[in-house]
Amino acid sequence: MVTRDHQIIVHRLNWQRLWAISPEMTVTSLCWRPDGKALAVGHDDGSIAIHDVENGDVLRQQTTHDAPVECLYWAMEGHQSVGHEDDVFCYEDRTPRFFPSPPHAPPLPGTVSSFDMSGVLGHAAEDQTYANRKNVLRAIHERLYILCSGDRNGTICLSAFGVFPIGKLDIRDLSINGMTSDYNIVAKPIYRLLDASVQQVALSKDLRNMTVICSGVQSVASLHVMAGAESRATGLYAISIDTSLLGDRRKELRQVALQASKVEELLEVVEATVMVMRKHWSDAISSFENKFRTFSTLLTEHGSHVKPRDEFLSLLACGSASAALHQFLAASLGEAGLKRLAKSIDTAGRELHNLIAEHLQPAAELISFIIGELRGLSRWRSRLRRIGLHETLLEQAMENAGMLLIQVERLLRIVSDTNGQFRLFFVWLTKSLRQLNGDTGPQASQLPAIDSAGVADFLRTHFEKDPIGPHLAPASDELTMDVNVEEQARMEELAIMGGFADTKFLTRTLSSQVHRLRASCQEAFQMPVKEVSPNLRPRCMLLLLSPLPSLPPPSTVPLSLTYFETDSGSKMKDILLEDYICLRVQDDTNSTDQSSVIILRSFAVSGHCAPGGKGLEVFALQLEKTLHCIDLALYKQKQVILLVSEKDPEDTGKIVQTYLMMLQLEDLEFVALSSTSTHMSRVSLLHLCSNLGAVTVVGLNSGKVRAIQQVDAVPPLAVSASRGLACVFAGQRRALLYDLEEDEEDKDDDDME
């Protein structure tokens, strides 16, 4: 549940609180993933976060909208037939055959110590936490799950598994056939919906139909308008969207989404690893540079214009030190300070080597392998091009991934060489310091023999120029690396024999290459949205559900939308899907606050929207005069749950009792509008149902009724029904849980405050 102060609270059914968090952004919507292991939460800044239900951790968060996310809906791919011709796309993760477990992002220095009291157990716990996090994301990969999200600006986004975008639709840009009340009119007007705001969205299990309920101002976009019809009408509308492409290419989409999202995760590991390496090395090299910068100042104070490097070369060649150098080594630095500095550089070098070997290199190898698999799939153009898998873009991403592998190998070599040279330099400097101090004891003889040529090479090349830092610095086109003529000639020869077309890639830094790989992957992985979105088309009508006095619509209007499975009646035992729209409407002609509930069936798959459909059907539930519908929820097995209040006949402002009612939808005699509603122009759905005889009066003797416990005269606010339970929310963080499968006398209410 989400409280008014936007705190998310998750309880078990026994009211054991699992966790409670207060996100920085205002919570505007939330939805359970069908397997119950994750929770999607929408925010007012347009972002959507996927939370682990067990601990509340954010598994993935991304900004997919430019406006507050008003509604969320998880659609789970239904049961699939076996032996179908496209079973080649039953995804199998082949990386475990060739690679160890994927690496995870290392912690930043200072946040989690790599050498804590638990030692290896600390790493094991960290790895287990990471594995659990990935298991939550991977738990649904046997089927395609699509997260549908709608925002206040009328935009609907579709993402596979909630992490990989596959489609986008703007309701305000659609041209839709009108359907107000005259369903058999020959020349239907073409409308646009201005100021559209998505209220609810639902996607069928076969992924072929999507029903959208949104508020907006209807505007005529064509000249074919009925005489006398209003050009604009503010109201609540239903739109049916053809998503057949998702159903036809569901297995291809699943495989592409899984592999592309893996690449995205591994790129995050690469970027995080580079950031950690930059932090480790910059801290160590800054200490080194700061210490030896004081030597430069000391030389100036002694009136010398010689560079520190030349002073050290003179010490190496002649064995004698100037007064400034002697003062620096003996007084400013000292042997203890020299050892601390040497340890700092050595530790950073070892840490970099481990980060490359355990995180960066494995991630780069996995990225190359997965992109290679996607490139192979892209060559099946007849099936994969329609969902945005472009061979040319993946070829570019593959080349950048290969270049990254070479850059990683080069950096590993540079780190090893540099760490060895620094170690040699510090050993020589320690030995020289002892000689200058006249220390000829046993400790002086314990130092290894010095490679003078190696020390001289370090002083000339690496003493004043950091060989590692530029590779890890933030990506910049202005920062380039020196490449000798021999290496450049070798790259050009390899290009002729089928190597990388970009022969200048060695002049880039590692960070620049990671940036180029990220850009090429983003370009390739944005194509599914660009290819799929134009195929998400509205079907043949815009249905006015209820007029609204103004926009935005009142948030208290009860509304529910879902798909139910129904038997086709054929010998093949095929399962068909019917959409149900349920909403409360007020009878404007009645002076009392009497409310009714309109239920529409088969809107998305009706003959108006889908060829061969059986027709749109409607039925109305008119509550008795003393009853008022507070909220409603469509429930499994074709049931509707109503939360109603009973008012005092003598004092309509006083609520006597609140009830929970369950009605069977199959007991209602729906009327098909397509064949019986001719000449019913501009009539509200409630009056239309009344004229067609599709109305029944609902009282406390109808269906299954339970009295709701009331505390402090505060009436319940809302009801949510799923998995055999109805959760009734009241004021002041009060909620009651009811078992919908048992009678009132069989079980007491579970109450939480």
Provide, rounded to the nearest whole percent, the portion of the chain with pLDDT above 90. Answer: 33
Q: Return the SS3 of 329.
A: helix
Q: Which helix (H) or strand (E) holds 10?
A: strand 8-11
User: In the beta sheet, which residues pair with residue 145?
Assistant: 76
Residue 116: band (very low, low, confident or very high) from pLDDT cuts 50, 70, 90:
very low
Q: For position 121, what pLDDT does the model report?
A: 38
Q: Is the peptide bond before 552 cis (omega within 30 degrees of 0)?
A: yes
Q: For position 652, what pLDDT does the model report?
A: 61
Cβ atoms of residues 363 and 269 within 8 Å: yes
Q: Is pLDDT at 591 greater than 60 in this prediction?
A: no
Q: For position 411, what pLDDT does the model report?
A: 94
Q: Return the SS3 of 130.
A: helix
Residue 439: band (very low, low, confident or very high) from pLDDT cuts 50, 70, 90:
low
Alpha-carbon distance of 247 to 650, in angstroms, equals 56
Q: b/e string for 202-234 if b means 16 or more Cβ within 10 A?
A: bbbbbbbbbbbbbbbbbebbeeebeeeeeeebb
Encoding tokens for residue 373? 């698999």
The residue whose two tokens read 């986004």 is: 157
Smallest CA-to-CA distance from 371 within 223, 542, 256, 199 is with 256
Encoding tokens for residue 240? 């049916």
Q: Within 13 A of 753's CA, how many CA atoms are on the CB side? A: 5
**Chain-centre distance of CA 205, in angstroms?**
21
Neighbouring C-beta atoms of residue 349, cutoff 10 Å: 22
Q: For position 221, what pLDDT does the model report?
A: 61
Residue-wise pLDDT for 599-643, tens only, equals 998 887 664 554 445 678 899 999 988 888 888 988 877 889 898
Smallest CA-to-CA distance from 582 within 525, 620, 625 is with 620
Residue 317: band (very low, low, confident or very high) from pLDDT cuts 50, 70, 90:
confident
Residue-wise pLDDT for 216-253, tens only, equals 888 876 544 444 444 567 888 889 999 999 998 988 89
Alpha-carbon distance of 349 to 419, in angstroms, equals 6
Q: Is pLDDT at 596 greater than 50 in this prediction?
A: yes
Q: For position 138, what pLDDT does the model report?
A: 57
Q: Is residue 307 part of a domain?
A: yes
Q: Is residue 105 part of a domain?
A: no
Q: Is residue 160 part of a domain?
A: no
Q: For position 318, what pLDDT does the model report?
A: 84
Neighbouring C-beta atoms of residue 576, cutoff 10 Å: 16
Kindly state the average pLDDT of the residues 266-284. 94
Encoding tokens for residue 711? 């505390």
Q: b/e string for 369-401 if b means 16 or more Cβ within 10 A?
A: bbbeebbebbeeeebbebbbbbbebbbbbbbbb
Packing angle between helix 391-436 and helix 510-525, nearest 10 degrees?
160
Q: Is pLDDT at 91 greater than 70 in this prediction?
A: no
Q: For position 192, what pLDDT does the model report?
A: 84
Q: For position 15, what pLDDT does the model report?
A: 79
Residues 6 or more apart from 187 whose CB is under 8 A from it?
A: 224
**Chain-centre distance of CA 540, in angstroms?**
32
- What is the edge-to-edge ordering of all strands in the sheet holding 655-664? 627-635, 639-647, 655-664, 704-708
Smallest CA-to-CA distance from 605 within 563, 635, 645 is with 563
Between 219 and 669, residue with greater pLDDT: 669
**Chain-centre distance of CA 675, in angstroms?**
45
Residues 6 or more apart from 133 whose CB is under 8 A from it?
A: 52, 57, 59
Smallest CA-to-CA distance from 12 within 36, 35, 30, 46 is with 36
Q: Is residue 408 part of a domain?
A: yes
Q: For position 188, what pLDDT does the model report?
A: 58
- The Cα diameter of the chain in Å comes to 114
Q: Is residue 243 part of a domain?
A: no
**Chain-centre distance of CA 576, in angstroms?**
30
Q: Which helix (H) or strand (E) holds 547?
A: strand 537-547
Cβ atoms of residues 673 and 631 within 8 Å: no
- Alpha carbon distances (Å) from 472 to 118, 245, 508: 31, 43, 11
Which contacts (CB < 8 Å, 24+ apart) does range 446-449 have?
none
* Number of independent structural domains in the chain: 1
Cβ atoms of residues 534 and 210 within 8 Å: no
Q: For position 531, what pLDDT does the model report?
A: 94
Alpha-carbon distance of 727 to 9, in angstroms, equals 14
Q: For position 83, what pLDDT does the model report?
A: 42
Neighbouring C-beta atoms of residue 92, cutoff 10 Å: 7
- Alpha carbon distances (Å) from 473 to 144, 395, 477, 480, 481: 39, 27, 12, 11, 12
Residue 718 carries which side chain, given as an amino acid letter?
A: A
Q: Is residue 330 part of a domain?
A: yes
Q: Is pLDDT at 125 greater than 50 in this prediction?
A: no
Q: Within 13 A of 188's CA, how many CA atoms are on the CB side? A: 17
Neighbouring C-beta atoms of residue 710, cutoff 10 Å: 16
Least confident of 300-314, 416-430, 729-743: 729-743
Q: Taking the alpha carbons of 212, 216, 221, 223 in that order, is the dihedral positive or negative?
A: positive
Residues 6 or more apart from 533 whose CB is under 8 A from it?
A: 167, 168, 169
**Range ranked top by mean pLDDT from 102-111, 174-183, 207-216, 579-588:** 207-216
Q: Taking the alpha carbons of 562, 567, 568, 574 in that order, is the dihedral positive or negative?
A: positive
Q: Is residue 230 part of a domain?
A: no
Q: Is pLDDT at 158 greater than 90 in this prediction?
A: yes
Q: Is pLDDT at 441 greater than 70 in this prediction?
A: no
Residue 626 carries which side chain, given as an amino acid letter?
A: T
Encoding tokens for residue 7? 């705190």
Q: For position 514, what pLDDT does the model report?
A: 94
Alpha-carbon distance of 595 to 622, in angstroms, equals 7
Q: For position 360, what pLDDT does the model report?
A: 95
Range of the domain at 514: 251-439+449-531
Encoding tokens for residue 664? 């069977």
Q: Is residue 395 part of a domain?
A: yes
Kindly state the average pLDDT of the residues 380-393. 90
Kindly state the average pLDDT of the residues 128-138. 56
Kindly state the average pLDDT of the residues 646-661. 79
Residue-wise pLDDT for 474-486, tens only, equals 988 778 888 777 8
Kindly state the average pLDDT of the residues 108-133. 50
The residue whose two tokens read 């999507």 is: 210
What size, in residues, is the chain?
753
Reduced 3-state DSSP string for 220-286: ECCCCCCCCCCCEEEEEEEEEEECHHHHHCHHHHHHHHHHHHHHHHHHHHHHHHHHHHHHHHHHHHH
Q: Within 13 A of 634's CA, how many CA atoms are on the CB side? A: 23
Q: Is pLDDT at 349 greater than 90 in this prediction?
A: yes
Kindly state the average pLDDT of the residues 59-67. 92
